[in-house]
Amino acid sequence: MSTRDLVLSALFAAIIVALGMLPPITLGFIPVPITAQSLGVMMAGVVLGARRGTIAVLIVLVLVAIGLPVLSGGRGGLAAFAAPTTGFLIGWVLAAFTTGYLSERLVQAEQGVTRQTVGFFLAAMIGGIVVLYACGIIYLALVAKIGFSAAFFGSMAFIPGDVLKAFVAALVGRAVLAGYPLLPVRS
């Protein structure tokens, strides 16, 4: 791994942390707030690819583990890994990897703008929603002992916002591909 790869991974780790500084949106009927950090995970995968995007997320999780308040709402420390929503944190790693892997396969520099944007959007949807929610819902159902259907239907309130995040990540991926053609040499 080159110094450039580490710098880019650290930059996207900082973006994920910065998105955690945005105030969470609380829905009255669900105790879990809507945060912007999953957008950073999607963007890391789309822009950096599987390996560097995963490293960016791992950097954030190490910062959380050592106690820095880098999660939304100023949370940090090992207690963040003992919550019922820990599956979503673990899912960030797989989500960034899957999003990056799919964006590497679906998007090529010689494709048209629309095809690139759709490819990035599909990668962000599959990695940042399907994979992330699979990890989060399974963990939530097992740890909170609420059953898979309750965990699944409780998580559905977050899907529209995450689809919007996937679209924003696709636009960012496309803009980076157009503006910085040497950056997307993703690995």
- State yes or no: pLDDT of 186 exceeds 70: no
Please report whether residue 150 resides in a domain. Answer: yes
Our measurement of the distance from residue 119's CA atom to the centroid of its chain's CA atoms, rounded to an integer in Å, reads 16
- State yes or no: pLDDT of 93 exceeds 60: yes
Residue range of the domain that includes 101: 3-179
Residue 38, domain CATH: 1.10.1760.20
Please give the share of the chain, as a percent, with pLDDT higher than 70. Answer: 94
- R_g (Cα) of the chain, nearest Å: 16
- How many domains is the chain partitioned into structurally? 1
Please report whether residue 95 resides in a domain. Answer: yes
- State yes or no: pLDDT of 184 exceeds 80: no
Please report whether residue 167 resides in a domain. Answer: yes
> Which has the minimum average pLDDT: 59-63, 82-86, 168-172?
82-86
Please report whether residue 108 resides in a domain. Answer: yes
Please report whether residue 8 resides in a domain. Answer: yes
Please report whether residue 186 resides in a domain. Answer: no
Q: What is the 3-state secondary structure (H, E, C) of the chain?
A: CCHHHHHHHHHHHHHHHHHHHCCCECCCCCCCCECCHHHHHHHHHHHHCHHHHHHHHHHHHHHHHCCCCCECCCECCHHHHHCCCHHHHHHHHHHHHHHHHHHHHHCCCCCCHHHHHHHHHHHHHHHHHHHHHHHHHHHHHHHHCCCHHHHHHHHHHHHHHHHHHHHHHHHHHHHHHHHCCCCCCCC
Give the range with max mean pLDDT: 19-28, 112-121, 149-158.
Answer: 112-121
Average pLDDT score, the chain = 91
pTM for the model: 0.92
Tell me what pLDDT residue 172 has.
Answer: 96
- State yes or no: pLDDT of 141 exceeds 70: yes
Average pLDDT estimate for 73-89: 91
Please report whether residue 94 resides in a domain. Answer: yes
- State yes or no: pLDDT of 10 exceeds 90: yes
Q: How confident is the model at residue 63 (pLDDT cuts 50, 70, 90)?
A: very high
17 CB neighbour count, 10 Å cutoff: 20
Please report whether residue 187 resides in a domain. Answer: no
Q: How far, CA to CA in Å, does 24 sit from each of 14, 95, 96, 149?
A: 18, 21, 21, 25
- State yes or no: pLDDT of 31 exceeds 70: no
Measured over the CA atoms of residue 69, residue 152, residue 136 and residue 145, the dihedral's sign is positive
**Among 37, 10, 12, CA closest to 23:** 37
- Distance between CA atoms of residues 56 and 114, nearest Å: 27
- State yes or no: pLDDT of 185 exceeds 60: no
